[in-house]
Amino acid sequence: MDWDALRVSLRLGAGTLAVLLPCGIWFGRVLAIRQFRGKSLVEALVTVPLVLPPTVLGFYLLVAFGARSPLGQAFQTLVGQSLPFSFQGLLLASAIANIPFVVQPIQRGFEAITSDVRDAAACCGLTPWQRFLRIEVPLAWPGILTAAILTFAHTLGEFGVVLMVGGNLPGQTRTLSVAIYDRMQAFDDRSAGIMAATLLVIAVATLMLTTTLSRQVSPRRG
């Protein structure tokens, strides 16, 4: 069992959540409530990472931020670190790949709130922030929770883009899913088997958690 890899995986999952969840709540709400021109294009762009092979994302990230690209060199001099083959680069890739997993459930959650409820809250004299925190977020909670759990689980399972952009560096970019591949290639089936079983258990557990929690949270609020 590669504990370093498990740690990287969990950090990546938590980091992706920390980056994406606030943006996702804001953006999902905008998409649910506002009508604007080009909305269908925006919605399509949000969904694109779902159908795009990870190699496409990996390719663009490497070409745009690699040590040989001007952008990558500028980033290197500014931050003193390259984006590909670093945890930060992995986080960026993972955040992009997970956009649909965050935005869509949250958007559905906010869409389920009728405008009557919002109007009533406004009539009661609640400020926009109070309305958002006390009325909308609790009502959209099942969607937000689903988004969070799906994103976390999906990040743990990410493979292609991690291998391409991360490069299998122990302790930095070698996640559990990449470590399984690495151990297979090193003829170490035992470790690979243990890690594969670990990921399987985590995946089943998270999905069970989602269904249980959403059942607990949703019934009276619909």
Partner 1 sequence: MPRRALRSLVFVAIVIVAFWAGVAAQRPPTIAAAANLNFALNEIKDRFVRERGTPVEIVFGASGTLTRQIQDGAPFELFLAADEAFTSRLTVAGLTRDAGVVYALGRLVVFAPRGSPLTVDPRLDGLARLVKAGKGALPGGGKFAIANPDVAPYGEAAEAVLQKHGLWDDLRPQLVLGDSIAQAAQFATTGNAIGGLLAYSLVVEPGFAQRGTYALIPDSDHLPLRQRMVLLKRASPTATQFYNYLQGQTAREIFRKNGYGVPPVAEPR
Interacting residue ranges for partner 1, rule: CB under 8 A: 7, 10-11, 14-15, 17-18, 62, 66-68, 72, 76, 82, 84-87, 137-138, 141, 145, 148, 167-172, 182, 184-187, 216-217
How many angstroms separate the CA atoms of 30 and 111, rounded? 10
The smaller minimum CB distance to partner 1, of residues 145 and 176, is found at 145
Shortest Cβ 60–partner 1 spacing (Å): 13
Q: Report the nearest approach of partner 1 to the CB of residue 18 (Å).
A: 6
> What token pair was written down for 22?
């606030």
Pick the closer one to partner 1 by CB: 16 or 46: 16
Angstrom distance (rounded) from CA 157 to CA 176: 8
Q: Name which of 46 and 131 has its Cβ closer to partner 1.
A: 131
Which positions ≥6 away from 50 have C-beta within 8 Å? 100, 101
Contact 107, 24 (CB under 8 A): no
Taking the complex as a whole, the smallest distance from the CB of residue 126 to partner 1 amounts, in Å, to 15
Shortest distance, CB of residue 73 to partner 1, whole angstroms? 9
Whichever of 46 and 179 has its CB closer to partner 1, that residue is 179
Shortest separation between residue 96's beta carbon and partner 1, angstroms: 18
Residue with Cβ nearer partner 1 (132 or 141): 141
Burial profile 191-221: b = 16 or more Cβ within 10 angstroms, e = fewer: bbeebbebbeebeeebeeebeebbeeebeee
Question: What values do phi and psi take at 84, rounded to 5?
Answer: -65, 155
